[in-house]
Amino acid sequence: MFPGCALIEDDIVEPRKRTLEVIGEADLVYFLPALPAYDDIIKDPQANLWIHSVGLLNTLRSMKDGTTIIFASSSHAYGEAKWGYVWREGDTGNVSTLAPLAVYQEAKRFGEALVWTERKRLKVGIARIFNVFGPWASNDGRVMERFINAALDNKPIEVYGEHDARSYLYVKDLDEGLKKLEDYVGDEGPLCVNLGADEAIENIDLAVKIKELTESQSDINLHPRRRGDLSWRCPDITLAREKLGWKPRHTLTEGLEKTIEWWREIRQG
C-alpha cells in the first residue's frame, strides 16, 4: 500500500519475537491500536484494557533509549463534561469506572500514565484526539460513517441523543497535528496536548447537514442517548496553537464534502 513500507500483522498483547525486534529497531513509534466504536466496546469490553496495558507495556519495553513515541489518547480520557465546557489539558476529568464506556476511557487514562513514566528515557508525546473523520475510515458504527452511509443509501439516519454534541476534526488536520507533536517532543521535551476542532455540532444538526450535502431522501429517526455515551465533547486547543503552531485548516463542511465524495467512490468499487 505504501512504497518502502512493510506490513507486519500481529497481536501487540501477545506479539511474536520479530515484532518486538522491529519495534526495538525503530526511531519513531506511533501507538494507535484501539477499539473506539461504541458497539465494539460493548461487545468486547476487555480488549482496550489489554491493548493499553499489556500491549503498550510490550511496546515500551521493546523501545531503545531516545526513541520518540506518540501515544494516541482520546477525548474519552476526560469523561463527561458540563454542556459547553471545553476540556483543557490540566483538567483531571470526570470518569466513572463502572460506566459502560469506562473500559475504553480508563484504558486511555492508564495508557497516558504508563507512557508518561518513560518521559526521561523516551521522547514522549500524548495526543488527546477528539472525534476524527475522513477518507479511509472503517464503517464500524461511529456517528460520521453511519450517518453518511445511511444518507447515501437513502435509508433512515438513526440519531441517538439528538442534542448531544461533538467536535469533528478532519483527518488531514490530525495528520498535521501529530507530525507537529512528533517534531516538538523530539526537540523540546514531553508534551500532552489536545488535537481536535474547537467547535461542536449537535447530532441532529450533523444529520441534517449530511442529508443536505448528499441530497439524500433519508428520514431522520430520533432515539434517546445510548447508555454511558457522553453528551458533550469539545477541546480547548490553545496549547496546540501555542506549542505546536497548529490549528485545524478544514471546516466541517469542507471535510464532509471530501469524505462524502470518498465514500461515493469506494462504494462504487
Q: Which domains does the chain have, with CATH numbers?
A: 17-267 (3.40.50.720)
pLDDT at 174 > cutoff 90: yes
Q: What does the pLDDT look like over 176-228, one tens digit per residue? A: 999 999 999 999 999 999 999 999 999 999 999 999 999 999 999 999 999 88
Q: Which residues of 238-269 are buried (b: 16+ CB within 10 A; e: fewer)?
A: ebbeeebebebebebeebbebbbeebeeeeee
Position of cell 476540556? Answer: 87
Residue at 169: amino acid letter: L
Q: How confident is the model at residue 147 (pLDDT cuts 50, 70, 90)?
A: very high
- Residues in a beta bridge with 133: 170
Write down the mean pLDDT value for the chain: 96
- In the chain, % of residues over pLDDT 90: 87
Cα–Cα distance for residue pair 75/235, rounded to 1 Å = 8
Up-side HSE of residue 34: CA atoms within 13 Å toward CB? 21
Query: What number is the average pLDDT over the span 66-82?
Result: 96
Cα–Cα distance for residue pair 236/89, rounded to 1 Å = 8
Q: What does the pLDDT look like over 15-54, one tens digit per residue? A: 999 999 999 999 999 999 999 888 999 999 999 999 999 9
Global confidence as pTM:
0.95
Q: What does the pLDDT look like over 95-119, one tens digit per residue? A: 899 999 999 999 999 999 999 999 9
Q: How confident is the model at residue 1 (pLDDT cuts 50, 70, 90)?
A: low
Instruction: Name the residue among 260, 168, 248, 169 with its Cα closest to residue 212.
Output: 260
Joined grid coordinates for residue 4: 518502502
* Angle, CA of 19, 181 and 52, to the nearest 5°: 40
Cα–Cα distance for residue pair 183/160, rounded to 1 Å = 39
Q: Identify the H or E element spanning 201.
A: strand 200-202
Provide DSSP, 72-121. Answer: EEEGGGTB---TTPPB-TT---B--TTSTTHHHHHHHHHHHHHHHTTTTT
